[in-house]
Structure 1
Amino acid sequence: MHLLLIVAAFLCSGTVEARKVRGISSSYKRFYRERKSFLCIDGSKMIPFEQVNDDYCDCADGSDEPGTSACPRGRFYCTNLGFRPHYIPSSRVNDGVCDCCDASDEYNSHTRCQNTCWNLGQKERAYVEGQMRTLDEGLRLKQRLIEEGVLLWREKQAQLRELQQAAEDLQVKLEEHRRRKHEADQLKEQTIKSLEVGKDGFRPQNTSVTSLFQLLDNNKDGSISVDEVKAKVVLVHDEKRVLSEDEALVLLGGGREMDLTKFRHTLWDILTRGDNVKIKDGAPGGPANEDPHLKEADRAAEWEATSLRKVEEAYETVNMEISDLQKKLDIDYGTDWEFLFLSGQCYKLQVYEYNYTLCPFNQVTQKSTTGTEVSLGMWGMWAGPPKNHYSQMVYENGEPCWQGGSRTTTVTLTCGTETGLRSAKEPSKCQYIMDFQTPVACQPVLKQRGVHSEL
């Protein structure tokens, strides 16, 4: 009889102990050792130990009821052997919903919960193993891209030096061509002056009577008419005005026509003096245009002008290439230039009716099915946290929104074995976020999520 009472007392004490420690992690069990009194963990109150887990909240921090739902601030610890342990609000204890995968939160309810911790643990371990394989492959690819980035950086530096040397050589050529063009223009000007009398006439020794008569005799009938004089002779001080009929008759000595003999003794002298009238500038076949020295000087001047234009264009092109290359080299491509391979590349993604295009270090655009393209931002800066500075890009100053302000896009870089745009969203008006996957975003250390291996 006494033996039965002892066994019964032992079983009852075991039951109480199990009830009292329910919902407690191993790190907190030291606070719940069997004793006469229990001190609330926040130190606010001392209660009899019998009141722990008695389904009545005595402590403000809920520490006296870890295994019941009595305290609004209480927490119940799911051990979840084989999976991740975690806390749930004590209000969920015995509420008919299985929150702990080991079913420990529904110990006194009518709900029958299956222990799914082993299956969940397996899935999570498989996921982590997959992530680790991805990380290993990503780091391998990243190393290769780093090596390619270093080579590409050196190539661009060499290209910049070559362009700068070419610019210096073209500068020398430019100065030489400018000098030669100036000399050719001076020679042409001197040649023209040598053909002039005063300001506008022609020197008799360089222009024959016959050649000037033939210039005026447009129809080549052996005589100069009133109409032919009006067509090729102008006033010195009013070149734009056409001579009147009377003025042309005066120059022809009162007659309507004039032969070579009469021309030699009358109009020839008037034209060569250049006092009042002259041959119209640029008249086809004119003495100045027919002069071989002037033609040669004009050809030389035109040749030098063309050559100078070509050298100027080449010099301008080289300087533009230098400027563009320097801008690209001024961008931060990572500590080992690992992001340099992204420069000049563009990545596309379709989300519903929109096509998004990300061109790293350049711009982000959105194109609708109607063909309308909108700028979502131009390259701004790296914006990741100090420990992972190159994990986030910001593109700003895109097209203005109808409510004011300009569109901006934040691009988060994630580790992966391939490079591509994975998602694009607009969580708030004209503020876009993108997920961009690439091996160069992989970090050497990836903290594994807490998974129990106590099996």
Structure 2
Amino acid sequence: CSFLSSEMRFHIIIAAFLWAAFVESRKIRGISSSYKRFYRERKSFLCIDGSKMIPFEQVNDDYCDCADGSDEPGTSACPRGRFYCTNLGFRPHYIPSSRVNDGICDCCDASDEYNSHARCQNTCWNLGQKERAYVEGQMKTLDEGLRLKQQLIEEGVLLWREKQAQLRELQRAAEDLQIKLEEHRKRKHEADRLKEQTLKALKAGDKGKAPSIFRTHFKTFAHFAELFQFTQLGRRFGYRAASISCLLSLTGATTLLGGGHQMDLSKFQNTLWDNFHCFHLVGSLLDYTNVKLSCNCIEHYDNFDLQKKLEIDYGTDWEYLFLNGQCYKLKVYEYMYTLCPFNMVSQKSTAGTEVSLGLWGMWAGPAKNHYSQMVYENGEPCWQGGSRTTSVTMTCGTETALRSVKEPSKCQYIMDFETPVACQPVLKQRGVHSEL
């Protein structure tokens, strides 16, 4: 009886092993939890694309019956098939079914090599730990970047208001200057009239009347132009410029007078008067004989340049305003690259040759993140035709710096520019998920 009992136990154990092997062989491998409902044990199986009905025994039998490969999720039988790696502790993903049982471990949980000679270890937990540490670091960077971004936005708003106030002040000054110019035009007309009287007196030989008219003429003219303060008149019809008012330095005035401190009436009429005759067109800011005009009143015309800068799109909260006027450099091999946001991009070789890689063009990011990419266009011509262009990708970081420069195709450059103001409040983590 004890012998029969032992024999029966032996047969039961064998039967259990065989059943376990059968169950294991019938296990539906390579499917995600969202697709398990299609693989419930039943008499028949409908291909997921609805093209064919087959006996359920033909699922994972290493023979492809369905055109979409859905009957062989766990084997390499179907060319279009995919195997789902569960990868518990890491990111799940699909691999081509041709990689199943090929002797190479593609799933970190080793589930793709369930019937091969490969000895794969489950590395999902370690990989998951590394990725979680990386994501945690990214989140810390994001938090710090957003904090710095808020500071830069606040500074940008203050700077914007300051520039706007400066522009309004310059515009008011320009309006005041325009009023003064109208007054000067009237005085100039009077000066022209006195000039004609002086010249007529000289031609008539009335040397007694001419100096009187000439002195009056100079007084009127000096009042019109607000250029010179004359402390003495030279002999006869000459004069000496002893001191200069706002527009020209003493050296500049000397240059304007032809290199001397004195000028007779004839030379005055033929040179200096004709120059000052154009002064009523001061809006054009003529540079007489290369002498730079440096008066404060001329600086009011900076409002045009300031207005142009303020017309640039610096982001929804003016967060990129702080970049205007700044330049960032990065050396890559023998080249030094310079990015001046909202201005230009250049490349300089060790030999000293500098090439323009583009001038500020526009923001070119996608609709959901418009300020994620800059485009600089119309750089120096390329030898194969066209001009050089540069695309600058803005990435989130705790520093503002040029991080990388690449030239994927001839004369087309790509830059990676890191700055806190590129950080977005929501960081979307996307795993590698693909369904059948």
1:95 is aligned to 2:102: yes
Match of 1:162, as an amino acid?
Answer: E
Which protein, 1 or 2, shows the higher relative CO under an 8 Å CA cutoff with sep ≥ 6? 1
Task: Please report how far the alpha carbon of residue 137 of structure 1 lies from its aligned counterpart in structure 2 after TM superposition.
Answer: 0.5
Q: 1:18 aligns with which of 20, 24, 31?
A: 24
Match of 2:424, as an amino acid?
Answer: Q
> Contact 1:185–1:301 at 8 Å: present in 2 too?
no
Larger radius of gyration: 1
1:441 is aligned to 2:432: no
Find the counterpart in structure 2 of residue 126 from structure 1.
133
Residues 424-446 of structure 1, C-alpha deviations (whole Å, 9 max, x = no match): 11111211111111111111100
Q: 1:402 aligns with which of 373, 383, 390?
A: 383
**Counterparts of residues 242-391 of structure 1 (less than 5 Å):** 292-293=211-212, 296-297=215-216, 299-300=218-219, 303-304=222-223, 307=226, 310=247, 312=282, 317-318=298-299, 320-391=301-372
Q: Say what the alpha-carbon RMSD is for the aligned residues.
A: 2.5
> Contact 1:121–1:451 at 8 Å: present in 2 too?
no
Report the Cα distance in structure 1 between the residues aligned to 2:301 and 2:155, rounded to whole angstroms: 26
Residues 209-266 of structure 1, C-alpha deviations (whole Å, 9 max, x = no match): xxxxxxxxxxxxxxxxxxxxxxxxxxxxxxxxxxxxxxxxxxxxxxxxxxxxxxxxxx
Q: Given the superposition, is the C-alpha separation of residues 429 and 368 from structure 1 closer, same or farther in structure 2, using an over 3 Å criterion?
A: same
Find the counterpart in structure 2 of residue 220 from structure 1.
none
Report the Cα distance in structure 2 between the residues aligned to 1:68 and 1:100, rounded to whole angstroms: 14
Report the Cα distance in structure 2 between the residues aligned to 1:16 and 1:166, rounded to whole angstroms: 94
Report the Cα distance in structure 2 between the residues aligned to 1:16 and 1:48, rounded to whole angstroms: 17
Find the counterpart in structure 1 of residue 148 from structure 2.
141
Find the counterpart in structure 2 of residue 168 from structure 1.
175
Unpaired stretches in structure 1, ≥5 consecutive residues: 208-287
Residues 143-176 of structure 1, C-alpha deviations (whole Å, 9 max, x = no match): 1111111111110110000000111111122222
Match of 2:152, as an amino acid?
Answer: L
Unpaired stretches in structure 2, ≥5 consecutive residues: 1-6, 229-246, 248-278, 286-294
Residues 73-118 of structure 1, C-alpha deviations (whole Å, 9 max, x = no match): 1111111111101111111111111111111111222221121111
Report the Cα distance in structure 2 between the residues aligned to 1:112 and 1:68, rounded to whole angstroms: 18
SS of equivalent residue, structure 1 residue 21: coil
Choose 117-126 or 65-74, whichever is displaced more.
65-74
What TM-score do you get using the length of structure 2 for normalisation? 0.77
Match of 2:226, as an amino acid?
Answer: S
Report the Cα distance in structure 1 between the residues aligned to 2:366 and 2:174, rounded to whole angstroms: 41
> Contact 1:184–1:304 at 8 Å: present in 2 too?
no
1:57 is aligned to 2:38: no
Count of residue pairs the alignment pairs up: 364
Q: Given the superposition, is the C-alpha separation of residues 17 and 320 from structure 1 closer, same or farther in structure 2, using an over 3 Å criterion?
A: farther
Q: Given the superposition, is the C-alpha separation of residues 442 and 27 from structure 1 closer, same or farther in structure 2, using an over 3 Å criterion?
A: same
SS of equivalent residue, structure 1 residue 177: helix
Choose 46-55 or 300-309, whichever is displaced more.
300-309
Q: Given the superposition, is the C-alpha separation of residues 44 and 14 from structure 1 closer, same or farther in structure 2, using an over 3 Å criterion?
A: farther
Task: Please report how far the alpha carbon of residue 51 of structure 1 lies from its aligned counterpart in structure 2 after TM superposition.
Answer: 2.0
Determine what percentage of the aligned residue pairs are the same residue: 78
Report the Cα distance in structure 1 between the residues aligned to 2:408 and 2:89, rounded to whole angstroms: 37
Residues 397-435 of structure 1, C-alpha deviations (whole Å, 9 max, x = no match): 111212211111111111111111111111112111111
Find the counterpart in structure 2 of residue 187 from structure 1.
194
> Contact 1:191–1:297 at 8 Å: present in 2 too?
no
